[in-house]
Structure 1
Amino acid sequence: MTLIDRKAEQSGTRPASPLLAVSGLRKSYATPQGALAVLKGVDLSLEAGQSLALLGESGSGKSTLLHLIAGLDEVDAGEIVLEGVRLAGLAEGERAAVRRERIGIVFQQFNLIPSLTVADNLAFQARVAGRFDAAWHDELLDRLGFSGLEARYPEQLSGGQQQRVAIGRALAVKPRLLLADEPTGNLDEATGDEVLRLALDLVVRSGSAFLMATHSTRLAARLDRQVRLASGVLVAP
């Protein structure tokens, strides 16, 4: 039983639909001019097996929302519930365990480990979480275009290749929730399309949920639903 399952059992709840529920989420940051409200009451939900594209201008709060859902920052108000567990009720170490066990994260920075090869970077998070699957690892290497390049190091890769490794690393744990912040921003269109196909395939195969922040309306249209973050709230695209 994982940490998140134990928390659900202790609270008398069970993981249930929706897989992710966000309600009344608010977040502000201090500035020299006073508090800057970034999120002003965000509500969203994701069912298992569903994908959602989050559109919005730069600075609209897309990255902030993903950070909060990932438990990398604390909310000012509102709730984030993942598989029946309120993230606000978890200590920092417990939130880290939830990320390790249930969440795959792809942000704009690659954050690869320079001393590890492509294969070892790809497997790193899955091994730490105790979820390494050799067959899935080999499939990721192939579908991300790294067959024969497994022994290369990050400094020997292009920016686009490094982003593909970062995406594969997040997918390697077969997460219940996959969060991606502009995951194809550094990729050419063909590679970006393949990466998105891979992510959507995982959602279908594992019953996970997929939340992707993107500027691309073309890519957003391939997901099940689309919403736009504007003036701190979610609106129709």
Structure 2
Amino acid sequence: MASEPVLAARELYRFYRAGEEETLALLGVSVQVGRGETVAVVGPSGSGKSTLLACLAGLDEPSGGEVRVDGVRISHRPETERARLRARHVGVLLQTRNLLSHLSVRDNVRLPQRAAARKPVTSARELLTQVGLGERTHALPRQLSGGELARAGLAVALANAPAVLLADEPTGELDGETERAVLAMLRERAAQGCAVLIVTHSAEVVRSADRVIALEDGRATDASARTARSASQEVPDVTG
């Protein structure tokens, strides 16, 4: 694990208002992920996990604080700038929403490559071959199995060789064998220097992470020590 933070979020706050009601989703959350490090984020429903991931990815703007990726500030910029920076520096792996249903698997991978407006490091076909889908490049998402969808989504997230990979419940609907295969691919990317952050409820993901951050009521704590003490027992009840 390297000490250099590739992903750095400082004192993130996120407030939502609906009429006169205010919801506090994040309360001063700071996160750092180093090159080659894998961090798991756990917590009960409503704890702020998805909000945190959205702010880290530049999909949502924090109300306060800042997010930097590879030293570049991604927060508090116009949407078009955030989208450009995300395409170049951040891969986002979602549980079910990574693929556009009307595009082939290959064209789904090509889409973020075009958005980055530069020559891709790895072609769409080569990426799909790396995740075991070299023979399925022309298939539509509806023609893929659950395991194939997970691997195709990972190829989309890795389309531009991102410095940071953010994953939201990437193994939530997978069987044990497919979950282990996806985790192996995530670990491989971390070994190549990618900073990986995974929002999860999976005990398997928690055990494989270098560090664990627990979110509750919008506040973050380091749960790594608790996880290490429980490694041979039941995973601590921070995963919700």
TM-score of the two chains, using structure 2 as the length reference: 0.83
Gaps of 5+ in 2: 224-240
Instruction: Pick which of 173-182 and 105-114 moved more.
Output: 105-114
More helix by share: 1
1:46-102 per-residue CA deviation (whole Å, 9 max, x = no partner) reads 111111000111221111001001111111111212222222343221111110101
Identify the residue that residue 237 of structure 2 maps to in structure 1. Answer: none
Aligned length: 220
Shift of 1:131: 4.4
TM-score of the two chains, using structure 1 as the length reference: 0.84
Query: What one-letter code is carried by the residue in structure 1 that aligns with 2:25?
Result: V
Matches within 5 A, 1:195-214: 195-205=182-192, 207-214=193-200
Contact 2:42–2:213 (8 Å) recurs in 1: yes
Contact 1:110–1:162 (8 Å) recurs in 2: no
Identify the residue that residue 120 of structure 2 maps to in structure 1. Answer: 132
2:175 is aligned, of 164, 188, 203, to 188
**CA-based RMSD:** 2.2
Contact 2:121–2:161 (8 Å) recurs in 1: no
Matches within 5 A, 1:100-115: 100-115=87-102
Identify the residue that residue 230 of structure 1 maps to in structure 2. Answer: 216
SS at match of 1:172: coil
Gaps of 5+ in 1: 1-15
Identify the residue that residue 85 of structure 2 maps to in structure 1. Answer: 98
Identify the residue that residue 72 of structure 1 maps to in structure 2. Answer: 59
Query: What one-letter code is carried by the residue in structure 1 that aligns with 2:15?
Result: S
Contact 1:163–1:186 (8 Å) recurs in 2: no
Contact 2:43–2:216 (8 Å) recurs in 1: yes
Contact 2:7–2:69 (8 Å) recurs in 1: yes
Shift of 1:216: 1.0
Alpha-carbon distance in structure 2 between the residues aligned to 1:90 and 1:31: 24
SS at match of 2:5: coil
Matches within 5 A, 1:164-183: 164-183=151-170
1:29 is aligned, of 8, 16, 23, to 16
SS at match of 2:158: helix
2:70 counterpart of 1:83: yes
Alpha-carbon distance in structure 2 between the residues aligned to 1:97 and 1:55: 29
Alpha-carbon distance in structure 2 between the residues aligned to 1:89 and 1:114: 31
Alpha-carbon distance in structure 1 between the residues aligned to 2:180 and 2:210: 16
Shift of 1:135: 6.5
Identify the residue that residue 142 of structure 2 maps to in structure 1. Answer: 155
1:165-212 per-residue CA deviation (whole Å, 9 max, x = no partner) reads 11211012211010000011122111111111112211221x221110
Q: Between the two proteins, what is the percent identity of the paired residues?
A: 37
